[in-house]
Structure 1
Amino acid sequence: MSKETFCEAEERRMNKILNFGLPNSYKKLGIILVALSILFLITRKIFDIEISETIRFILKRVVLVGLLIIAISKEKVEDEMIQSMRGRAFTMAFIFGVIFSLAQPLFNYIASFIVEKEDDGLTDVGDFQVLWLLLTIYLLFFYMLKRRL
């Protein structure tokens, strides 16, 4: 195999990964998953229904999967402008997520110190919070950019 064909094959594989997307119809599935999971979690909280930690864990992950499905579902018209907006939205979500992950423990520490007057130490931000924030911010930025189009 020559060097040129190897490079072409690598580029083709990379483009396949970069251009991956679910069909537009999957967006509805993602919305249904997110809505049902959040509705169940809110209903549980309002009516003080006790559920196991395992079910809460699963429901939170279903929310993340639903948001991911929405995020990687293609638009009806998927062109270079949409891909550019996706890139900008992912960039903004990443920056916002990093800032949140760095600042949130400090804010929690300050609030804890002011309210309780004791030193609880810094706590780390959980994986669910970061992933939920990244996906939500991405979707917000993407649809704001798309709306301006």
Structure 2
Amino acid sequence: MAKETFCEADKRRFEKFKNFGLPHTFKKFGVALVALSILFLFARKLFDIDVAITLKFILKRVVLVGLLIIAISKEKVEDEMIRTIRGQAFSMAFIAGVVYTLIQPLINYIVALFVEKDKEPLTDVGDFQVLWFLLTMYLLFFYMIKKRL
């Protein structure tokens, strides 16, 4: 049996990575993670519960992990059409994320000028905000396109 060339092995690894996806059952786990984390974050704010900054940081990251699990979980029927929809949704979410990241600081600045009447320097969009927006937009676009077809 001939040894696999470096290019063939690299192509095989790339295909394996490209077709990676968690089983469909993980989608429920991701939804539960997101729901519980957001519920706890809202309850903390609603009932004025004092929580350590570390716990708030961890809960935000759990939301991101949950959204990622939902995004990379396979559908019940994973075919070429679903892969095409995934590609379209990822590209649309990426474009929306870039536009959001560029425009949001300007919107915050303009609102601060009218509301607070003093000039505040432009502030950058945080990592959590960008990642949350990208993953949420991906899921929104994916299910909208999937429902339309």
TM-score bracket, normalised by the shorter chain, equals: over 0.9
Name 1:111's counterpart in structure 2: 111
Query: What does the per-residue CA deviation read over 1:28-83, in whole Å, with 9 as the maximum and x for residues that have no partner?
Result: 00000000000000111111111010000000000000000000000011111000
Structure 2: distance between partners of 1:6 and 1:105 = 46
**RMSD between aligned residues:** 1.2
Mapping for residues 1-149 of structure 1, pairs under 5 Å: 5-149=5-149
Once the 2 structures are TM-superposed, how far is the Cα of residue 148 of structure 1 from its aligned partner? 1.3
**Residues paired across the two proteins, number:** 147
Q: Which amino acid aligns with 2:123?
A: T
Query: What does the per-residue CA deviation read over 1:118-147, in whole Å, with 9 as the maximum and x for residues that have no partner?
Result: 111100000000000000000000001111
> Which contiguous aligned blocks of 4+ residues in structure 1 show a shift greater than 6 angstroms?
none
Q: Which amino acid aligns with 1:135?
A: L
Structure 2: distance between partners of 1:117 and 1:40 = 35
Q: Unmatched 5+ residue regions in structure 2?
A: none
Once the 2 structures are TM-superposed, how far is the Cα of residue 108 of structure 1 from its aligned partner? 0.4
The TM-score, its normalising length taken from structure 2, stands at 0.96
Q: Unmatched 5+ residue regions in structure 1?
A: none
Q: Percent identity?
A: 69
The TM-score, its normalising length taken from structure 1, stands at 0.96
